Amino acid sequence: MKAEPITAPTLGQSVHDRLRAMILSGELPSGTPLQETVFAERLGVSRTPVREAVARLAGDGLVTRIAGGVPTVSRITVTEIMEILHVRRLLECETARQAASVNCPPEPFLALRSVLVGYLAGARPSVADYTRFDEDLHILIARTAGSALLVTLVQSLKLKTRMFDKGSIPERFEPGCNEHIEIIDAILARDPDRAEAAMRRHIENARAAILSHLYRLS
């Protein structure tokens, strides 16, 4: 079915966001060719914003370009996702430690903690809403740590994790919420050791859940 045409002053951004969402949701699975003419027609735009969006997505690692070939949605292997989670553990344990070591405004963390409490007490959010929340929290922690480079690296690695699992491990929802609350509480308590340990548990549990999910599918 043809998508609704995109009409907005920020056409290039809209096309990028639409294609990015389609990739991360699995609507465009790994290996899908991103032919400019096909997606220009599908999205109701010219080829130029599609070309620009694909170039940006390649920069994000979501699209692979092969010389002389059509760009395709990238493939993330099990080995790569394990490496990504290993690097995330190294980086994000440090960001959590650093965030707990500074005198940061508590309001942004308290607001996100309130959202988590609401998730646990009420209806489960959509996968899209929860993954957006999850990214917001991890980026807030990295930003609080005070390094623009860490923010960029965490964003990139979180993006590839999402691309691999599509947020589709439902048994991780409640444990993940509680782990996030523990991370927030440790940061607000200005306890670097506790914050680092909480982040390490969170990422190690995510890794174990992905491996278990893959084992059940095999």
pLDDT in tens, 12-36: 888 998 898 888 777 888 889 999 9
Task: Count the domains in the chain.
Answer: 2
User: 166: domain CATH number?
Assistant: 1.20.120.530
Same domain? 46 vs 119: no
Final residue of a domain: which of 51, 73, 95?
73
pTM of the model: 0.78
2 falls within a domain: no
37 falls within a domain: yes
Dump pLDDT digits (tens) for 142-169. Answer: 999 998 998 999 988 888 887 776 556 7
Residues spanned by the domain of 56: 11-73
How would residue 210 be classed by pLDDT, with cut points 50, 70 and 90? Answer: confident
> Rg of the Cα trace of the chain?
19
Final residue of a domain: which of 57, 73, 89?
73
Please report which helix (H) or strand (E) contains residue 182, including its range.
helix 173-188
Total Cβ atoms within 10 A of residue 74: 20
Q: How far apart are CA 59 and CA 160, in angstroms?
A: 12
Total Cβ atoms within 10 A of residue 143: 17
Same domain? 68 vs 84: no
